[in-house]
Amino acid sequence: MEVSKLWFFEKFVIKKFFAPKLKQKTNFFRLLAVAQRAWLGLRDALFSIKNSETNRGLVMIIQDLIDQLTQGYTLSKAMENHNYFFKEEEIALVESAESMGNLPDILDEIAKELENSQRINAKIKKAIAYPIVLVIFSIVAVTILLIYVIPTIVTMFPDQQSLPNLTKIMMGISGFLQRTWFILLLIVIGIIFTYRFLYKYVLAFKVFIDKLMLTTPAVSGVVKTYYMYRFSKLLSQLYSAWVSPIVSLVLMGNTFTNFFYRKKAIEIKENLNAGFSFSESMEWSSLFDPILVQIIHVGEDTGNITEVLKKMSDFYRDMLQTRIDILMDLLQPFLMAIIAVVIGVIVGSIFLPMADLVNVIK
């Protein structure tokens, strides 16, 4: 299908303003699987989903899928025109299902995986929400105390040179914030954008951050478990769809965002080309749990590697949720302690001169 410049503009509009949510994408695959199981044609199924969809971006995507199917394209080829919405592995699974004739099963499998991702994302957001809200409110409270409360309290004392040293330090910080708060705000915004730019375009910086995520205590457990879950789940899905191991590893390498896991997927692909097995390629790597390597070895010997990988993906999914809870349980007291110390110092700088004033009055 020849894509016009107008369609490129429509893609931009969808991505920037009407991007469908993960929940809507999950519902799309779920409804399409149900329609296929009911022996409804693809075009009729897409028409039905489109009529019940409220997201404008997804409606535009479904309409283009319908137009391409009308012109004789397969569903997987039509999905390739929307690779910003459909992932490579999803397109590969659909393409394989079209040739194997088990499209409803694969669509249902994709929907289940998206539901799992949806639950994991919701759990991560819920776990992170409390610390973020706590930090924001703490920053607001500290800013109010430094900019408004401390200067007001200090004006009650005619001889400011006799104030405690802690109060003088806080006054200096207060004056600095009043003069430069706008510049500090711009610096914080600049740091955020600079980080995103460096991580996306500077390989050395990305390698450093990805390495840090794999070596930091508590955080590394969550990251490694997440990638072992994604590895076992994607590989089981692709194997069940009869996608070749080489193509599967290419797709996984493109899916993984961590530099070291992406590099390892490429190394395993090269080892398979050289005649090694999966388990042999994964041995002695700190990126994978030894249990996963042993289970894959057993699966290769018994010929039921797909079922083994499905069970391991369920195991790592549950472990991931547990480790997220543990990480948040560790992080929250740490944040509370830091905030308590900062606010305690500020409050102390306020009450020390007041205590001196009370003593003078007595």
Chain centroid to Cα 288, Å, comes to 20
Note whether 38 and 67 are same-domain residues.
yes
> Considering the entire predicted model, what is its pTM?
0.76
Residue 270's alpha-carbon distances to 86, 114, 263, 275, 300, in angstroms, are: 27, 29, 11, 9, 18
| Per-residue pLDDT, 207 | 94
Is the CB of residue 293 less than 8 Å from the CB of residue 308? Answer: no
Same domain, 136 and 227: yes
**What is the chain's mean pLDDT, rounded?**
82
- What is residue 361's predicted lDDT score, i.e. its pLDDT? 57
Least confident window among 6-10, 16-20, 69-73, 344-348: 6-10
Which residue has better confidence, 237 or 266? 266
- Looking at the fold, whether 226 and 337 belong to one and the same domain comes out as yes
Q: Are residues 252 and 314 in the same domain?
A: yes
Identify the domain boundary among 52, 86, 120.
86
**pLDDT digit string, tens, across residues 78-109:** 898 888 888 888 888 888 888 877 888 888 88
Can you give the pLDDT at residue 356? 62
327 and 265 within one domain:
yes
Q: Taking every pair of C-alpha atoms in the chain, what is the biggest distance, in angstroms?
A: 94
Whether residue 362 has pLDDT greater than 90:
no
Contact 110, 90 (CB under 8 A): yes
Same domain as 317, residue 243 = yes
30 vs 188: CA distance, rounded Å: 42
Domain count, the chain: 2
Q: Which domain holds residue 246?
A: 107-178+217-362
- Dihedral in degrees, nearest 10, Cα atoms 115, 117, 122, 128: 170
Taking only the tens place, the pLDDT of each residue in 216-237 is 888 888 889 988 988 888 888 8
In this structure, what DSSP letter does residue 2 have? P
pLDDT of residue 169: 82
Chosen domain end from 54, 86, 118: 86
Give residue 9's pLDDT.
Answer: 65
Tokens standing for 228? 């072992």
Q: Which of 24-38, 211-225, 344-358 bottoms out in mean pLDDT, i.e. has the lowest? A: 344-358
User: Is position 93 within any domain?
Assistant: no
Tens of pLDDT, residues 119-175: 888 877 777 777 778 778 777 877 777 777 777 777 766 666 667 777 778 788 878
Average pLDDT over residues 335-351: 78
Q: Residue 210: which of 199, 222, 225 has the closest Cα?
A: 199
pLDDT of 82 reads 86
Residue 346 and residue 277 share a domain: yes
For 303-327, what is the mean pLDDT? 85
**Is position 222 within any domain?**
yes
Residue 188 lies in a domain: no
Identify which of 61, 51, 77 has the alpha carbon closest to the alpha carbon of residue 14: 61
Rounded Cα gap, residues 211 and 222, in angstroms: 14
Does residue 270 lie in a domain region?
yes
Helices (H), the chain: 5-17, 22-37, 42-52, 56-70, 75-80, 88-100, 103-144, 150-154, 165-201, 203-215, 219-240, 245-255, 259-273, 278-282, 290-302, 305-361
User: How far, in Å, CA of 109 to CA of 1, rounded?
Assistant: 28
Per-residue confidence (pLDDT) for residue 4, from 0 to 100: 44
Predicted confidence band of residue 308 (pLDDT cuts 50, 70, 90): confident
Q: Are residues 66 and 130 in the same domain?
A: no
